[in-house]
Amino acid sequence: MNRFNQYKISSFKIAWVLGFLAVLAAGCAMGPKYVKPKVFSPQNYKWSAEWKIAEPKEGFPRGPWWKIFNDEQLNALEAQVDVYNQNIAAAVAQYQQAHALVRAAKAQYYPSVSVGTAYSQVGTSTGPAQGISNYLVEGQLSWELDFWGRIRRSVESAKASAQASIADIETIRLSIHAALAQDYFLIRAYDMQKQLLDDTVVAYRQFLELTKARFDEGIASKAEVFQAKTQFETAEAQAIDIRIPRAQTEHAIAVLLGETPAEFSIAFSTSPMYVPSIPTGVPSELLERRPDIAAAERRVQSANAQIGVAKAAYFPALTIGASSIYQSSDLTTLFLAPNPMWSYGPALFDTIFSGGAKRARTAQAKGAYNASVAAYRQSVLTGFQQVEDNLAALRLLAEEAKLQDIAVRDAHETLSLTLDEYDQGTVSSLNVIVAQAAELSSKKTAVSILSSQMSASVLLIQSLGGGWQSTVLSQESSKEIWAQSRPNPK
């Protein structure tokens, strides 16, 4: 066999061995295969069917869930949150960090190449005054074969962590959008109370004037005048007092929108508010609709992959290295023969004794995994609790609202009858004042119940995930996820 055929056979053997090692390394990964932890999911929500009046034809709104309330001003405010809220900006920056860690983990798949240069003068104490110059250029290549899957597990862990960061962004976005909606409806409730108190002040002023006239005629006593005056002044004070929480809530909205309170205001409005019918779906869907639950599950996979990283440390690292050195005392002939020296070949490194550090790191990884599983299951339980809490609140508030509407009508009828009797002289002004106070209290309670219904509706939507779906985490393009997570300001 001639040298050419021997060379071909040797090249074939080398290629075959390298190919075999590559295939073997690709199929070998330490640590347990990830399986999504099991959680218990009830068949139905306890309070779901008992409060909803009707089920909408369409499913839960995707994206801008707040449009279900049909309020244009709310829609306009919510549109600013993603662009200017600083908490969302911080969450997006954290995702940038996590995404960079994925790229750093993937970089371990490739060889690392380094180049260095050096210059020195060599001489002895008895030698000539001028030392001998020495020029050196060195290049090195190092490539770790992922024989035990350490790199793959590291990449898997980093990817899962990045996906958890995306879900964290959605959790914060959902929370801030919900907080804005709650504050907005709270302002609307304050406006309704302000209008109610303003109307009450007008009515009380008229009754005060009537009482004064009756006093001038000798029909009413001076005490009755002061009673009517006291009630009128109290209503005026309440009309001023309601402006304090409204102003503070308006300031809170400004901060949510990334604005200073001094430059932001919401116009007074008494437009009616309606409690929407919210489709809850089945409880098992909650696992896919809550971004915080999805984030917890992704962290379970990240922790599971870290077990593989820890176990891979039990085995030696197989590295292919190569180096080339050019050294000469004359810079002009540095890259000419016979100056170059080179070397290449595989290297196998392993730590023979580590004092139990490897076992400790594996135990630590397993402990972190168990903790992440517990956190995931706890987040699921908390999610179910929050849904049930708000379903119960909506059902009971709906019953309360019906009874309170009746109470408002009865209080209004009582006041009308009492005023008629007062005109006829059969009752004193004190009866009118009591009836007026009862009507005002009933109307304020009705507004408070409506405000609680709107807040519970927002909280129910938030507890259901706001229409978000965990399928967004499986998208291959991080740029698409980035675009959805952080719209660019205009």
Structure tokens at 424: 């006829």
Please give the helix or strand (H or E) that residue 484 lies within, else none.
Answer: helix 478-485
Same structural domain, 279 and 135: no
Percent of the chain at pLDDT above 90?
Answer: 39
Same structural domain, 240 and 381: yes
Same structural domain, 123 and 211: no
Confidence of residue 461 (pLDDT cuts 50, 70, 90): very high
Length, in residues, of the chain:
490
Amino acid at 410: D
The CA distance from 139 to 130, in Å, is 29
SS (H, E, C) 256-292: HCCCCHHHCCCCCCCCCCCCCCCCCCCHHHHHHHCHH
Same structural domain, 462 and 443: yes
Same structural domain, 37 and 16: no
Same structural domain, 376 and 275: yes
Helix axes 150-216, 478-485, angle to 10 degrees: 10
Candidate from 124-128, 199-203, 449-453, 465-469 with smallest mean pLDDT = 124-128
Report the SS3 class of residue 314. coil
Helix axes 222-241, 243-256, angle to 10 degrees: 0
Same structural domain, 248 and 397: yes
Question: For residue 374, what are the domain limits?
Answer: 32-108+149-315+357-485
State yes or no: cis peptide before 338, omega within 30 of 0.
yes
185-233: pLDDT as tens digits: 999 999 999 999 999 999 999 999 999 998 998 888 899 999 999 999 9
Same structural domain, 463 and 343: no
> 223: left (phi > 0), else alpha (psi -120 to 50), else beta?
alpha
pLDDT of 406: 96
Please give the helix or strand (H or E) that residue 305 lies within, else none.
Answer: helix 291-312
Q: Between vectors from CA 353 to CA 351 and to CA 358, what angle results, nearest 5°?
A: 75
Which residues sit opposite 376 in a β-bridge? none
Same structural domain, 130 and 188: no
Same structural domain, 188 and 329: no
Which of 455, 439, 453 has its CA nearest to residue 196? 439
